[in-house]
Amino acid sequence: MATEEREPLTPEQQFLRRCFIDHYVRSPPEAPYRFTRREWGFFPFGGKMMFRHISFTRKEELDAFFRQRAPMHAYHSSAYYSEPSLQPMGEKVKTWMGADLIFDLDADHIPNSEKLSYVEQLEKVKEEMDRLVRDFLISDLGFRKEGVELFFSGGRGYHAHIRDPSVLPMDSRDRRQLVDYITGNNLDFDVLFPDRTVEVNKRFGSSKKRRNFRNRGHGGWVTKIYKGKDSLLNEMLALPDNKSRVQKLLEISRTKKLGIGQQKCSSIVEDLFKKGGGVTVKRMLEEDMFQVTSTNTIDTDFLKFAASYSSINLSGETDEPVTTDTKRLIRCPGSLHGKTGFRVISVPLDRLPSFDPLRDAVALGRDPVEVSLNEGFSITMGGEDFDLKQGRVSVPKFLAYFLVARGKAKMLPDAFLL
């Protein structure tokens, strides 16, 4: 097994590692499905890099590793190998036996996430994962509800694991097609809403065509775009003026990378809210219409905006590659997250709406620990409300870990260490 390379631990790192050792002595993670066929990777406290290409043949070996090493981060491969510890990677890949399908949603993929608090980020990501599973994985792609396992990542996101036999042999190109569908990448509106003839001039042998917007119940992306249309129009109606509405469209275009500029955004807003005294918006909502103008180009741009409200953003650095990569490492369920101390915990789909990571994923104990807080901090965690002032404070171990790991507090020289 590889030797860890790490610097001498600071008092803070010593405290964090001690917390993990004590936890894993009592509660090592459950062995994941077919754990002996998976590659494992770990990042130690104070480490310079991950060490990987590790395998376990017995649950006892896995438990002993966590008790003795207490890694800061623990991962296993989505792939199964006949020789999971084989090196180099090029040789291991030759023993590839298939891979789970993994979806990883993290706060990084949320537009303007840096403006949200940690609690707000958690709530937004949870809503996205619920939509991903219900609207795409189950409704559109047909995976069984029982076959989709959800996990809180322990940090700022959620993972969905699918082990259906149909996905195991999928290569990266197959998985890419699923990602493209979910993200709405390269949607062909001419296929979703094909032209239909609305008027024929027999004298001149000409005809007039318009999009066939089908109806809301058509299913798939047609239904999703109808829902996106409603959400977008209602949000724009709530804005005070057309200037704000143009800025709203420009922001969506930027964050969703639609490539629609100022002039086209202004044209859409004018057709929706200015011409006819704003009657277009009213009809599109009340009569469930989808006609913006007679200009096909503007219609297409509006469809892009509506579709963006129903797509799932998997384009972050850690999100999309997780799904398409057939060799990816993913956090081990039941392990602890080194930056929060929270458990990577299973979340049944029916419980997802009420799941609260700051309550349900808290794993460390309540023994009091004194730390020096850099600045005031308020949070509800472990069923308790905390409103802490800067300076020396005594808090439960689970909160002390969270504050120290996130750089919000330091250990005191005379503090009670575990």
Local confidence band at 418 (pLDDT 50, 70, 90 cut-offs): very low
Q: Per residue in 33-44, pLDDT tens?
A: 999 999 999 999
SS (H, E, C) the chain: CCCCCECCCCHHHHHHHHHHHHHHHHCCCCCCCCHHHCCEEEECCCECCCEEEECCCCHHHHHHHHHHHCCCEEEEECEEECCCCCCCHHHHHCCEEEECEEEEEEHHHCCCHHHCCHHHHHHHHHHHHHHHHHHHHHCCCCCCHHHEEEEECCCCEEEEEECCCCCCCCCHHHHHHHHHHHHCCCCCHHHHCCEEEEEEECCCCEEEEEECCCCHHHCHHHHHHHHHHHHHHHHHHCCCCHHHHHHHHHHHHHHCCCCCCHHHHHHHHHHHHCHHHHHHHHHHHHCCCCCCCCCHHHHHHHHHHHHHCCCCCCCCCCCHHHHHCCCCEEECCCCECCCCCEECEECCHHHHHHCCHHHHCECCCCCEEEEEECCCEEEEECCEEEEECCEEEEEEHHHHHHHHHCCCEEECCCCCCC
The arithmetic mean of pLDDT across residues 149-167, rounded, is 94
The arithmetic mean of pLDDT across residues 14-30, rounded, is 96
Q: Per residue in 239-286, pLDDT tens?
A: 999 999 999 999 999 988 899 999 999 999 998 888 877 788 888 898
The arithmetic mean of pLDDT across residues 65-87, rounded, is 96
Higher pLDDT pick, 347 / 116: 347
Per-residue pLDDT at 289 exceeds 60: yes
Local confidence band at 198 (pLDDT 50, 70, 90 cut-offs): low
**Which one of 100, 104, 299, 301 is the catalytic residue?**
104
Local confidence band at 287 (pLDDT 50, 70, 90 cut-offs): confident
Catalytic, 130? Answer no
Per-residue pLDDT at 320 exceeds 70: no
Catalytic, 190? Answer no
Catalytic, 360? Answer no
**Which one of 22, 100, 106, 356 is the catalytic residue?**
106
Per-residue pLDDT at 295 exceeds 70: no
Q: Per residue in 55-64, pLDDT tens?
A: 999 999 999 9
pTM: 0.86
**Which one of 100, 271, 301, 319 is the catalytic residue?**
319
Q: Per residue in 393-415, pLDDT tens?
A: 999 999 999 999 999 999 997 65
